[in-house]
Amino acid sequence: MHQTFDAALGINLLHANQAGADHNREHFDEWGITCLNVMSSPGAGKTVLLERTLEALSSELKIAVIEGDMTTELDAERLRQYGVPVIAINTGRSCHLDSKMVAGGIHRLAHDYNPSDFDLVLVENVGNLVCPAEFEVGEHAKVALLSVTEGEDKPLKYPVMFREANCLLITKMDLAPYLDVDVSQIEANVRQMNPHATIIPISGKTGEGLEAWLDWVRSQCDRKIALSPQLSIYG
């Protein structure tokens, strides 16, 4: 007789990735590091944003970058000019970083440096508006970029990314006057699914919005320090 049995699992499909992400976050917490996961479609300006950020903050915060852009070391080379450790993860043909890849980056950081010296780790995810939203890597906050050239409708079309973002940067604002784009409509579309994100229009070229972004990054690091049980190490 053919008899069928049933086993209830009720396990999240991504639970292995989630467990890895939680583990990474524990390391960051132990070392007093704030980790930001920076995501966008290809060419929205993640690397330029990191360049401007390193330029402005590397004297006041100890920063490392985990660089997940595919196949080449070009972005990593660009960022190393700012004198911070840049750990390039070769993601191969993968369309997103997962917690295991980032764990590899964290171990390299811990191997080559004293991780407790660092305040901030910026993870530059693979350019993609779809899957990075589902794969946590151990970050404390998610940053999404959307450039004005991509169109107002993208938050409606890729809602999970924009729902999950804690901070949304509307990039390439210097181009807005030349385009048929309504920036307030981008904001309104994001607000439909994400009432709480900090939204900052920004231009890496003119510096518009840069101070607001840097303040947001500082606030993430401050909050981390305030929450840290090892207050003493920050003197």
Partner 1 sequence: MHETDMTKALIITVKDWWESQLDRPKIESVHLIVGQFTCVEPVSLQFAFEVQTRNTFLEGAKLVIQETPLIAFCHRCQQDYAPEIGLQYACPDCQSPMEDIRSGRELKIDRIEYADNSAVTTGKSQV
Q: How many residues does the chain have?
A: 235
CB of 49 to partner 1, least distance (A): 23
Applying CB under 8 A, the residues found at the interface with partner 1 are 1-17, 94-96, 98, 130-131, 133-135, 156-157, 159-160, 163, 191-195
Q: Please check whether residue 28 is in contact with residue 138, taking contact to mean a CB–CB distance below 8 angstroms.
A: yes
What is the DSSP code string of 109-130? HHHHS-GGG-SEEEEE--S-SS
Q: Look-up: residue for tokens 């779809």?
A: 130
CB closer to partner 1 out of 135 and 213: 135
Q: Within 10 A of 2 (CB to CB), how many other CB atoms are there?
A: 3
CB closer to partner 1 out of 78 and 191: 191
CB of 69 to partner 1, least distance (A): 17
Report the amino acid identity of residue 81: Q
- Two tokens at 167? 């901070």
CB of 133 to partner 1, least distance (A): 6
CB closer to partner 1 out of 5 and 178: 5
Strands of the sheet with 167-171, listed across from one edge: 86-88, 63-67, 120-124, 34-39, 141-147, 167-171, 198-201
CB of 178 to partner 1, least distance (A): 28
d(Cα 39, Cα 124) in Å, to the nearest integer? 7
CB of 27 to partner 1, least distance (A): 22
CB closer to partner 1 out of 48 and 70: 70
Q: Within 10 A of 78 (CB to CB), how many other CB atoms are there?
A: 15
CB closer to partner 1 out of 94 and 149: 94
